[in-house]
Structure 1
Amino acid sequence: MSDACDLGPSVSAEELRYVSPGTSLLLAGPPDVDKRAVALEFLAAGQRRADGVVTISVELGAQPLVAAYRSTGGADDERLRVIDATGFGSDADRVAAVDSPTNLSGVGSALGRHLEQYVTMNTRGLRVGHLSATALLERMDRGRVYKFLRTLMDRVDRAGYLGVSTIDTAACNEQTVAMLADAFSALVELRPRDGATEMRTSGLDAPRSWTTLAT
């Protein structure tokens, strides 16, 4: 599994824990599942194995996002880069601010600059997180959101990165979730169950059954 992307120990089933480079995952679930935390865990699992991480944040500013990332086991070091697309951030060390969540070309340019910085770093791979698709749907039509996510995840695929995004199933209908999921390699459904979180996937070479995420 040395060439695979490890999603981390919270995914106990080995056939789900390891995915191929170039895989992109849309994490979908209701409001009572912390989809952001799961996505950050998947990103942090890569950093622990010497991957670089770029997180595009539409809802949280850079500082609270980094705090949330650290709470999932990630490290605030040179391998972490943040694109603050809230519209309220400012450029800082390892942070690129974009003036509006809807400035998708600005997000793309900031991502390109961050990726260039990894060329001279000793990283094994890269992981790209977009948090969240729901926040974009609140600001623009789903066709534009789909095109942006498709472009982003195609870039992940071509470069052999791991891509992760999230969507709140209570904030949009099933048709919208299905439409956006088409931009990703796989849909990861999340649900609460007996005080824990369960996941199942469609689009991966793995059984489509519910499994509990370890805490």
Structure 2
Amino acid sequence: MSADDASGEPAGYVFPDHLPIEPIAPGSTVLVAGPALSRSEDLATSLVTAGSDTDPREGMLFVSTNMTCEKLLTACERLEPGFAADRTGVIDCSGQDLDEYRSDPQVKAVSTQSDLTGIGMKFSALYESLYGAMEGGRVRTGLISLSSLSMYVDMRSLFRFAQTLSGRIDSAGGLGIFAIDPTTHEQKTVNTFSQVADGRIEVREPDADVPADADGEVRVRGLPNQPNGWQPFSLDE
């Protein structure tokens, strides 16, 4: 798939058919909001790993705040059978020993989730590396998750951090996917984080009348040319 559409403008970031989300414009950051049981974090991860399948010139970068690099990459491989680990960077904020990944230049460790400065520096370095390596500089970023980081830093600092990442993604024409569990925050806090995003993908568990193989339902807010209302989705191709 070309990185440009027929008009010569950069093409949107696309997703496989089993995810009912239309292409999202380059430079966008999207908040994926759903409770833990809704599999919202798996969906957020899938929106990033879709870069493996849709365009061989797209890179993927994860800021993993609640999983080790090893567990995250295993999840990526489970969700996307064709997952391209060689085009993926990971910032591991778990504070655990990286072992086999210690010498991998595409994996960076931060000793604690409270070190937003360290996370930001490693993010910039990895993003620049992936941006330079990908034709057209197309990179999908997954921050998994804001809710996990909020347990270690104050909201004002976390908002500024999210705003900085979103700005970097915007200026580079990337795609940002920031996961959040709204059940762990006041509505005011969720609305505040929504200010750093161009739109929101809300996730819930499937209703009784949706197909039995659905993993949940999504509703897209604030993004153009998206389906209306709640749509069932599956995390399996």
TM-score (norm 1): 0.91
139-148 vs 194-203, greater mean Cα deviation:
194-203
Q: Please say if residues 198 and 212 of structure 1, whose CA atoms lie closer than 8 Å, have aligned partners that are also in contact.
A: yes
Matched, 1:189 2:202: yes
For residue 95 of structure 1, what is the aligned residue in structure 2?
Answer: 107
| Matched letter for residue 72 of structure 2 | L
Q: Say yes or no: does 1:167 pair with 2:180.
A: yes
SS class of match (1:184): coil
1:44, distance to aligned residue in structure 2 (A): 1.2
Alpha-carbon deviation of 1:209? 1.2
Aligned residues: 212
Secondary structure at 1:60 match in 2: coil
What is the root-mean-square deviation of aligned Cα atoms in Å? Answer: 1.8
User: Which residue does 1:39 correspond to in 2?
Assistant: 44
Q: Which residue of 2 aligns with 1:116?
A: 128
Which whole-Å deviations, capped at 9, do the CAs of 1:141-185 have from their partners, x for residues lacking one? 222111111111111111100000111122112111111111111
Instruction: Report deviation, 1:92.
Output: 3.3
Query: CA 1:22–1:119 in structure 2 vs 1: closer, same or farther (change >3 Å)?
Result: closer
CA distance in 2, matches of 1:121, 1:63: 23
Q: For residues 119 and 188 of structure 1, do their structure 2 counterparts lie closer, same or farther at Cα, with a shift above 3 Å needed? A: closer
**Deviation (angstroms), 1:96:** 0.4
> How many angstroms does 1:119 deviate by?
4.8
CA distance in 2, matches of 1:173, 1:118: 35
The answer to whether the 8 A contact 1:52-1:118 is kept is: yes
- More strand, by proportion: 1
Would you say the 8 A contact 2:93–2:111 is kept in 1? yes
Deviations 1:45-103 (A, max 9, x none): 11221210010000000000000011111525320110001122443312100111111
4+ long deviations beyond 6 Å:
none
Amino acid aligned to 1:46: G
8 A contact 1:89–1:98 mirrored in 2: no
Residue 157 (1) aligns with residue 177 (2) = no
Of 160, 181, 191 in structure 2, the residue corresponding to residue 147 of structure 1 is 160
Q: 2:66 maps to what in 1? A: 59
1:77: which partner in 2? 85
Shift of 1:108: 1.3
Residue ranges of structure 1 left out of the alignment (5+ in a row): none
Q: Distance in 1 between matches of 2:40 and 2:122?
A: 24
Structure 2: unaligned runs, 5 residues or longer: 6-10
C-alpha spacing 1:123/1:170, structure 2 compared with 1 (3 Å): same
Amino acid of the structure 2 residue aligned with 1:64 = K
Deviation at 1:134, TM superposition (A): 0.5
Amino acid at match of 1:199: V
User: Deviation of residue 117 (structure 1)?
Assistant: 2.2
Q: What is the SS of the residue equivalent to 2:62?
A: strand
Mapped pair 1:5 → 2:13: yes
Change (3 A) 1:9 1:165: same
1:84 and 1:199 map into 2 onto residues whose CA distance is 28
Match of 1:211 in 2: 231
Correspondent of 2:118 among 106, 115, 124: 106
